[in-house]
Amino acid sequence: MENKTGKNVSSGASKVESLEKDTAAAQAANGGAPKKTAAHKTVKKAPSANSAAAKPRTGKSTKSKSPAEKKEEKAAEKRLDAAKAKAERKEQKLLHKAELKQKKLEKKMALKEKKLQKREAVAKRKADRKQAKLDRIAAVKERKVEKRAERIARREMLKNESKADRRARIAREKKERIALKRQKALAREKAHEQRMKAREAAHERRSQERRHKREQKTERKKHAPGFGGWLAAVISLGVACLALATVVTAGSFRMNDMTLETANGYRSVLYELTEASEDMDSNLSKLRVSSGGSEQRTLLTDILVDSELMESALERMPIDNVTSTDISSFVNKTGSYCRTLLAKLDRGQQLTETERNTVEYLYNINAGLYNELNEMTTHMTEKDFMAFIGGNEGAVSQKFGEMGQSTLQEPEDTIDAPFTGEGNVGQNRLEGEEKISESRAEELAKEYFRNYHISQTQYTGETLAHETTCYNFTLTDESGNEIFAQITENGGKLAFFDTYEECTEKNFDLDTCDGLAREFLNGLGIENVAAVWMSDGGMVADLTYVTVKDGVRVYPELIRVRVCESKGRVVGMDAMEYLLNHDPERTIGTSMSREAAQEKLSAGLTPYSAHLAVIPLNGEEVLAHEFACTYGEEEYVIYLDAETGEELQVYRVQSSARGSYLR
């Protein structure tokens, strides 16, 4: 389309052109000279677009434009600029619409993509929940299978269980139930005591607050201000309240952020503690059954690292000092014991039965600790956890208290003597004895218990222990008490017996029980013995004897005797190690002097008793100096090689409600 903007002119322009034509005609009539008057002056103007197109340019100057022409020209330019601006605005509007449309389309696509992602996330969560449900079902089925297998194994065990084993199991389970009840009772008492202390503290705090308020009220009455002072006080209080409200509001937001950050930090530490306990549980479980030195060193190193991680996590937990001390004590003891066993393995030695029992004890304690931690982290509520990190009583703090009490559990069979459970060292001395029949063994059993008023004797089978066969008998006295006894097939010796008698009163002291035990041993032909360990946990005295040869204690020939302090009679004995290792022709080697050996002791140890002793070590007999020492308030029993003075074995004496024991 042709643009006519420059060709269409207004009526004013046409008038100008006609005026110019008339002027030119008049000039031609006057001889070509323009007529000038005072009222009319020739005005030079630029040639218009039409005149320039109509007439060719000459060397002469054109006439000037009139104001009307200039005004019209400016108006035309303005209209042109307005048209251009309008076109630009229209174009910008179209571009803006296009941009809005594009943004709307992008927003729609983003919303569609978000919905698609949401549907995918929902589908994924559904699939995860379904898989988790299937996993839980599978886990439940697996647990059912395991429990069924355990029940079957237990039935088989009970089916093949002897009366002695059954009595021992029942007694052990009874002890466990009693210990559990005692633990729960202690936890309840502790919780009650803590609640009472909290109530007393709260009552005292409220009393102090009331007392302080009364004092302030009395002080205000003494110094009552006038009206002006009251008004100034009100204004000051209002300003202070506004400022305080601002500070409290801002501080509240900061405190909420800080509280959330603190809670997340403590929660992370709790998970770290649980993970370290779980890892320790796995390593201790493997160590129980491991027999290779290399694997044992690896496991002990891992347990040592786990103990340090647990100790670090405990230091960052907001638990009370008593609970922290109880759990930390167990963790530190575990780490220390691992270092001791690592040093022993590095010397090329092997773990003894007593040390394996200690590992079993550590495993049982940590297993209970891990189960409690796992249950707590799984089921604790946000309210309980916030109360815990705030230092208030709640389910979490109570659970930690119970865990602290559980770590105080004493090891099973910890009332022990040095080198118990070593078995035969070297040659089995019973192999050279003459074998006897079952009937002869029954006669000997009646003879051994002739002072127990036996009314019935029953043969219950045979047992192979420490490469020695024993006849098992159950003897019943006139009061209905059963005695389980083992008579060796070789030689017909009384190797072991046990009976349960209720001992409720302490009618006999340790010295009297020692005399009764020695009398019983003399009846069996066992003489020249020394009591190396005496303890009276409960109402039963536990006495450990070793034979004495030329003034030297022979620990491989060890005998353990139990005496009821209520009735004053022997209710248990284990002489298997004595029978396996007793050698009347034993010779004792030479050794360094006691004084020279004592100088080898560590600084700070104060010996109060010393003996020369033959001890079992790695399946061999070694001559050693035995020193009973004190280190501050602690007691130790230390054995040094009688030839070199090298430290062979260290025991720590500990006390409990069940008596003293060695660790």
Q: What is the pLDDT of residues 217-252, one digit of tens each?
A: 777 665 555 545 555 555 666 656 665 655 555 454
**pLDDT band at 382; cut points 50, 70, 90:** low
Bridge pairing between strands 494-499 and 606-617: unpaired
| Per-residue confidence (pLDDT) for residue 261, from 0 to 100 | 55
| Per-residue confidence (pLDDT) for residue 585, from 0 to 100 | 84
Tell me the percentage of the chain whose pLDDT exceeds 90: 18
- The answer to whether 530 and 652 have CB atoms below 8 angstroms apart is no
User: 227-289 and 382-389 helices cross at what angle (nearest 10)?
Assistant: 110
DSSP code of residue 435: B
33 or 503: whose pLDDT is higher?
Answer: 503
Residues 6+ apart with CB under 8 A from 473: 441, 442, 445, 457, 458, 459, 460, 484, 485, 486, 487
Average pLDDT score over residue span 306-327: 67
Given a cut of 60, whether residue 92 has pLDDT beyond it is yes
Average pLDDT score over residue span 636-649: 89
Average pLDDT score over residue span 423-449: 86
| Per-residue confidence (pLDDT) for residue 51, from 0 to 100 | 45
Read off the amino acid at residue 162.
Answer: S
Given a cut of 50, whether residue 257 has pLDDT beyond it is no
- CB contact burial 194-206 (16+ within 10 A = b; e otherwise): beeeeeeeeeeee
Give the integer Cα–Cα distance in Å for 34 and 594.
157
3-class SS of residue 208: helix
User: 227-289 and 353-379 helices cross at what angle (nearest 10)?
Assistant: 140
**Picking from 167-176, 216-225, 310-319, 611-620, which range would have the lowest pLDDT averaged per residue?**
216-225
3-class SS of residue 557: strand
Determine if residue 471 is left, alpha or beta; phi over 0 gives left, psi from -120 to 50 gives alpha, anything else beta. beta
- The answer to whether 416 and 442 have CB atoms below 8 angstroms apart is no
Given a cut of 80, whether residue 353 has pLDDT beyond it is no
| Per-residue confidence (pLDDT) for residue 438, from 0 to 100 | 92
321 or 531: whose pLDDT is higher?
Answer: 531
Q: Which two tokens stand for residue 659?
A: 């008596």
Tell me the percentage of the chain whose pLDDT exceeds 70: 70
393: phi then psi, degrees, rounded to nearest 5: -70, 145
| Per-residue confidence (pLDDT) for residue 472, from 0 to 100 | 92
**Picking from 70-79, 178-187, 505-514, which range would have the lowest pLDDT averaged per residue?**
178-187
Residue whose tokens read 């024993």: 470
| Per-residue confidence (pLDDT) for residue 402, from 0 to 100 | 58
**Picking from 54-58, 335-339, 496-500, which range would have the lowest pLDDT averaged per residue?**
54-58
**pLDDT band at 399; cut points 50, 70, 90:** low
Q: Which two tokens stand for residue 608?
A: 């109060």
| Per-residue confidence (pLDDT) for residue 388, from 0 to 100 | 58
332 or 505: whose pLDDT is higher?
Answer: 505
Average pLDDT, rounded, for the chain: 76
153: phi then psi, degrees, rounded to nearest 5: -65, -40
95 or 428: whose pLDDT is higher?
Answer: 95
- CA dihedral of 314, 316, 322, 328, whole degrees rounded to 10: 20
| Per-residue confidence (pLDDT) for residue 312, from 0 to 100 | 77
Domain spans in the chain, listed from the N-terminal domain onward = 102-153, 163-210, 235-406
- The answer to whether 547 and 531 have CB atoms below 8 angstroms apart is no
Cα diameter, the chain: 182
**pLDDT band at 413; cut points 50, 70, 90:** very low
The three-point CA angle 309-310-313 to 5° equals 90
| Per-residue confidence (pLDDT) for residue 486, from 0 to 100 | 92
| Per-residue confidence (pLDDT) for residue 559, from 0 to 100 | 92
Give the integer Cα–Cα distance in Å for 54 and 483.
150
**pLDDT band at 23; cut points 50, 70, 90:** low
Average pLDDT score over residue span 302-311: 84
